[in-house]
A = this chain, B = another copy of it.
Amino acid sequence: MTTGPRLPARARLLKAADQVLFDQGIRATPVDALLQAAEVSAATLYTHFGSKDALVAEALRIRLADWQGVWDQHIVAADNDMARLLAVFDALASYRRDQDHPSRWCAFLAAATELPAAAEEISAVLAADTALLATRLLHFSRPLAGLRAQDLADEVLLAYSGTLTAFLRGYPHSPIDVGRRLARSAAEAHGRK
């Protein structure tokens, strides 16, 4: 534990939210548990965020930005078209290995499921995540599938989503490897034509 000089209350709250909420469940975690994890008083939470939902939304936005950053790193490290397309799986592996971001499967999909009547704010993050994936995967699909790029991008997004879901199923065959294989064979199939 790198306990440093103790973060300010707002940051502690966001960190606790990210670590507890998306791992134990959003609705299943009462505000009190969050306060305890963040070592913060109730009043502080509500002066900073106004509501639990707003804190959830902010934590989701930050998680999306973090995730995007990790993905970026794996993209620049890739040295060919196929590796760039598959970088999303390496990014997922490294993001999940990071103990700072435990989560049962996917924070965005979980939020959409747990808060169906979610404030615009919350469902917007899942939309943003989906849009980010769709845009980038389409971009990386072009050199591999040409006119069929959209089809390949759809397929890789599906493989990626399936990988996330496999964590929820507790399926034992290292989902990330399976997802990568699936995406690769889809890409090769398009390349052949």
Residues of A within 8 A of B (CB): 24-25, 27-28, 104-105, 109-110, 112-117, 126-127, 130, 134, 150-151, 154-155, 157-166, 168-171, 173, 175, 178-179, 181-182, 185-186, 188-189
Among A151, A168, A179, A188, residue most surrounded by chain B Cβ atoms (within 10 Å): A168
Which residue from chain B places its CB closest to the CB of A169 in the assembled complex? B130
Main secondary structure of the interface of A (DSSP, over half): helix
* Number of copies of chain A assembled together: 2
Q: Which residues of B contact A169 (CB under 8 A)?
A: 109, 112, 126, 130, 161
Which residue from chain B places its CB closest to the CB of A189 in the assembled complex? B185
Please tell me if the beta carbons of A114 and B112 are within 8 angstroms of each other in the complex. no
Provide 18 A-B residue pairs closer than 8 Å at the C-beta atoms, listed in order of the A residue. A25-B113, A25-B117, A104-B116, A109-B169, A113-B113, A114-B114, A130-B171, A157-B171, A158-B162, A158-B163, A158-B182, A161-B161, A161-B169, A162-B162, A164-B165, A182-B182, A188-B189, A189-B189
